[in-house]
């Protein structure tokens, strides 16, 4: 009933028979919101029985204002709306008013198969903003690293060796400080040990500075194939610009992660979530951000697993039955779940045994991790519903308890 856009929103109200009761175009402003409330009141809206709202987005100022007013808001997937649209027009014509009518009729006929927005707390919604922003910054940092690494391979392989020194990477402060100091092989050839030591101290190194500086200088001074001088200089300028982007993304990840962790540690579910093996503070915050703290959001653990994409999906038609993994899912939760399951392999004997059993049964690595994530989600759902901590022997009852070795 609300077809939204950046500049305005089209409103359509229908009765129980699908007849148009009222329509209007409003601005996303206080005045526009008051117009919407007036329309709803004239259509019979009351505090005891508020008229539900259907809209194609779960976020935005209008959605926030509607939820603050105590209204039930249904966020309908745009793909679902497109399929419903074909029920009302075979010509595939489209207009903002027609889309608002489609949304209103979706609630009139099929409200029981759609879920209203979860009633998450303000704290968990703030955690979601920070966790998603941190995850986005992490992905941007990865893209920046890949771009910089691709460029360095073309003219500066010594810097890649220096970045990998003692299991480091281009995101490490040491590697970024070195590249800032010597963006080309020609500049690296003029580096003294003292300047490298200064760069290491600026990057935060405290111990073994002299030894590390000597080894890094030896790496940078090794003979390598070179580009032409002017081309090398141009590539060095490009590398510095990419380095500036990488520096900004690294700083964003650190600052957003700190803010996210501060908020997550204040949440009542913090101790339950972090009691699970493989879930650290940041990954736990990402999981909470996606599942929320509205205990009525998921009817059972199966709904949560389907939402995360860890539960398989069956496609059956006639004699054909195919069971495969879900492609329509919450990608952020699925990404956090892959990391969660992989990290749990070294922290939980039960998780490792479960993964090995799935691999022995023929699962590939990703499928085995997805199955383990599916198992963990069932445990997490139970623990959050009953406010209990994770227990290894309960999660994996087939695992025999291991006694500690005497010192």
The reply to whether 219 and 132 lie within a common domain is yes
> For residue 402, is it within any domain?
no
Closest CA relative to residue 294, chosen from 121, 175, 138: 121
* Residue found by looking up tokens 């809209």 in the block: 55
**358 belongs to a structural domain:** yes
Whether 255 and 130 share a structural domain: yes
Tell whether 372 is covered by a domain.
Answer: yes
Q: Are residues 189 and 137 both part of a single domain?
A: yes
- Considering the domain architecture, whether residues 7 and 43 belong to the same structural domain is answered as yes
Q: Which of 262, 286, 317 is the last residue of a domain?
A: 262
Question: Half-sphere exposure of 369 toward its Cβ, with a 13 Å CA cutoff?
Answer: 16
Same domain flag for 275 and 298: yes
Q: Are residues 365 and 335 in the same domain?
A: yes
The percent of the chain in helix, strand and coil, each rounded to the nearest 5, is 60, 10, 35
Phi, psi values for residue 283, rounded to 5°: -65, -35
296 is written with which tokens?
A: 């009525």
Residue 205 token pair: 């190194």
The verdict on 226 and 329 lying in the same domain is: no
Q: Is 99 helix (H, G, I), strand (E, B) or coil?
A: helix
Q: How many domains does the chain have?
A: 3
Q: Do residues 31 and 95 share a domain? A: yes
Same domain, yes or no: 256 and 308:
no
The domain boundary, picked from 262, 289, 317, lies at 262
Residue reference for tokens 């998603």? 132
Residue 91: CATH number of its domain: 3.30.420.40
Q: Is residue 119, in this structure, part of any structural domain at all?
A: no
What's the CA gap between 28 and 6, in Å, rounded? 8
pLDDT tens digits, 8-35: 899 999 988 889 999 999 998 999 999 9
Confirm whether 407 is domain-assigned.
Answer: no
113, 140, 173: which is the final residue of a domain? 113
Domain contains 76 = yes
Closest CA to 183 of 214, 216, 155: 155
Per the structure, the complete domain to which residue 103 belongs is given by 2-113
- Is 314 part of any domain? yes
| Nearest-10 Cα torsion for 57, 63, 285, 269 | -130
303 falls within a domain: yes
pLDDT (tens place) for every residue of the chain, 407 residues total = 688 888 889 999 998 888 999 999 999 899 999 999 999 999 888 888 889 999 999 988 999 999 888 889 999 988 888 888 888 777 777 888 888 999 999 999 999 888 899 999 999 999 999 999 999 999 999 999 999 999 999 999 999 999 998 778 899 999 999 999 999 999 999 999 999 999 999 988 888 899 999 999 999 999 999 999 999 999 999 999 999 999 999 999 999 999 999 999 999 999 999 999 999 999 999 999 999 999 999 999 999 999 999 998 888 888 888 888 888 899 999 999 999 999 999 999 999 999 999 999 999 999 999 999 999 999 999 999 999 999 999 999 875 444 433 33
Same domain, 23 and 99: yes
107 and 180 in a single domain? The answer is: no
Distance separating alpha carbons of residues 133 and 138, to the nearest angstrom: 9
pLDDT in tens, 329-353: 999 999 999 999 999 999 999 999 9
Residues 277 and 361 grouped into a single domain:
yes
Length of the chain: 407
């Amino acid at each position: 009933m609300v077809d939204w856009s950046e500049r305005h929103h089209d409103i359509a109200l229908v009765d129980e028979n699908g007849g148009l009761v009222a329509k209007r175009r409003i601005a996303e402003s206080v005045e526009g919101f008051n117009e919407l409330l007036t329309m709803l009141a004239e259509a019979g809206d009351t505090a005891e029985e508020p008229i539900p709202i259907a809209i194609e987005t779960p976020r935005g100022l209008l959605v926030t204002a509607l939820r603050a007013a105590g209204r039930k808001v249904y966020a309908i997937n745009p793909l679902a709306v497109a399929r419903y649209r074909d029920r009302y027009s075979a010509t595939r014509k489209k207009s903002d008013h027609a889309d608002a009518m489609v949304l209103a009729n979706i609630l009139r006929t099929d409200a029981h198969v759609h879920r209203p927005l979860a009633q998450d707390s303000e704290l968990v919604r703030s955690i979601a903003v920070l966790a998603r922003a941190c995850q986005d910054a992490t992905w941007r940092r990865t893209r920046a690293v890949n771009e910089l690494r691709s460029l360095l391979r073309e003219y500066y392989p010594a810097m890649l060796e220096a970045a990998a020194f003692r299991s480091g990477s281009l995101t490490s402060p040491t590697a970024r400080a070195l590249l800032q100091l010597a963006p080309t092989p020609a500049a690296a050839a003029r580096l003294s040990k003292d300047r490298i030591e200064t760069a290491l101290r600026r990057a935060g190194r405290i111990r073994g500075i002299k030894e590390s500086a000597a080894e890094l200088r030896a790496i940078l001074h090794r003979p390598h194939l070179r580009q032409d001088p002017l081309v090398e200089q141009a590539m060095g300028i490009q590398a510095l610009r990419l380095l500036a982007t990488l520096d900004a993304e690294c700083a964003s990840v650190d600052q957003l992660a700190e803010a996210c962790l501060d908020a997550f540690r204040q949440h009542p579910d913090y101790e339950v979530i972090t009691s699970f093996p493989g879930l650290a503070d940041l990954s736990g915050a990402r999981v909470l951000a996606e599942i929320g703290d509205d205990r009525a959001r998921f009817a059972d653990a199966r709904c949560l697993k389907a939402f995360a994409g860890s539960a398989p999906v069956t496609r059956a038609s006639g004699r054909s039955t195919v069971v495969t993994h879900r492609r329509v899912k919450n990608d952020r939760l699925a990404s956090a779940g892959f990391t969660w399951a992989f990290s749990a392999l070294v922290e939980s004997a039960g998780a490792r045994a479960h993964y090995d059993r799935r691999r022995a049964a023929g699962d590939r690595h990703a499928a085995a991790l997805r199955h383990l994530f599916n198992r963990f989600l069932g445990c997490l759902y139970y623990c959050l519903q009953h406010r209990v901590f994770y227990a290894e022997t309960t999660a994996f009852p087939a695992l025999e308890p291991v006694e500690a070795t005497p010192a």
